[in-house]
Amino acid sequence: MSLPTRESLRLDWTRQALADPDASIERATNDASFRSYWRAYSAGRSWVLMDAPPDKEDIRTWLDVASRLARAGVHVPDIQAADDERGFVLMEDMGDRLLLAELSESSADRHYGDAMQAIVRMQLNADTTGLPAYDEARLVAEMELMPEWLLKRHLGHTLECGQWDVVEGAFRALVTSARAQPQAFVHRDFHSRNLLVTGRDDPGVIDFQDAVLGPITYDLVSLLRDCYIAWPQARVDAWVEQHRQRLADAGFTVPGPEAFLRAFDLMGLQRHIKVLGIFCRLWYRDGKAGYLQDLPLVWRYTRDVGRRYPEIAPLVNLIERIMGDRELTVPRA
């Protein structure tokens, strides 16, 4: 007797969870992991089904962080049913109005204001007990994805010893800055494709399973230097200062405006150096199309911000020399 397919397991489990033998499901979206998302329909209502194959993903972490954020007053999906052995979660359907599509010159202040308030709520109220630390080893391991996947795999360049010295010097400076910041709850992927406009306690927050205890500017830079949308520097700087004041008003000990902006900039460099590698890996290792198209913006952030800081500028210059006139969006054979 053959084992049921994942497709049949998914549908059978959903019908049992909803107590409706006629419930139906249709694909909603994929993400950059092994998870897939489906919309379930029953009796005129809809839910979202997360399918996380247990040999690839452990939904217990997702459920744990969802509970922490809900208790902190953050708008995360209500859970209808969950099965960690099979890797299914049936949850509230918060719609499909991604923040990215809702942002405009006129709406950005309001939407980012809501999102920054959610960051403060997470950092002030979310339980961090037992969360992994965003420590030196984790920060460095993330950045090392850049030389492996951007420079070597995408651009075809293997670093020489002297070039590694430049890379490691920049990495040390970024780790030192990150570890010197106050540490708090970090969502770790708090950007416009993981935030939803729902009309109730916006934003709706998803994709939070990788939460850690880490630098206080990390989620802010994920939001304001988003890999999928860019804003003028003056506007970003103003939002950063507004957020610094929010943190101070909430009781956090924060540095002055210049020091906070520097910490924000350097945190963004750590994140974007990591993402340069991740976007290449998603294509070459995982066959996920589309992410190479976002490389130019991530590189622009890295180049423009990195040039402002003497400890990072040599790395920017090195990457520029290796890159030459190569078109980043074109895969290497």
DSSP class per residue in 290-314? TGGGGHHHHHHHHHHHHTTSTTTHH
Q: First vs last Cα of the chain: how many Å apart?
A: 43
Under-50 pLDDT residues of the chain: 1
Domain map (residue ranges) of the chain: 6-92, 99-323
- What's the confidence (pLDDT) of residue 205? 98
Cis bond before residue 203 (omega within 30° of 0): yes
- pLDDT (0 to 100) of residue 244: 98
Q: Provide the whole-model pTM.
A: 0.94
Angle between helices 313-323 and 295-306 (to 10 degrees): 140
99-323: CATH topology is: Aminoglycoside 3'-phosphotransferase; Chain: A, domain 2 (3.90.1200)
pLDDT value at residue 31: 63
Query: How many Å apart are CA 75 and CA 196, to the nearest integer?
Result: 10
Q: What is the token pair recorded at 27?
A: 């694909």
pLDDT in tens, 206-235: 999 999 999 999 999 999 999 999 999 999
CA distance 215 to 137: 14
**CA angle in degrees (0–180, nearest 5) for 106-226-269:** 135
CA distances from 230 to 100, 191, 197, 203, 289 (A): 11, 12, 19, 19, 21
| Residues in a beta bridge with 312 | none
Alpha-carbon gap, residue 249 to 229, rounded angstroms:
29
Cα 225 to Cα 8, 190, 268, distances in angstroms: 41, 10, 7
Q: What's the rounded Cα separation, in Å, for the pair 1 and 253?
A: 63
d(CA 20, CA 24): 9
pLDDT at 1: 46
Q: What is the pLDDT of residue 333?
A: 82
Query: Would you say domain 6-92 falls under CATH 3.30.200.20?
Result: yes
Q: Are 68 and 121 in contact (CB under 8 A)?
A: no
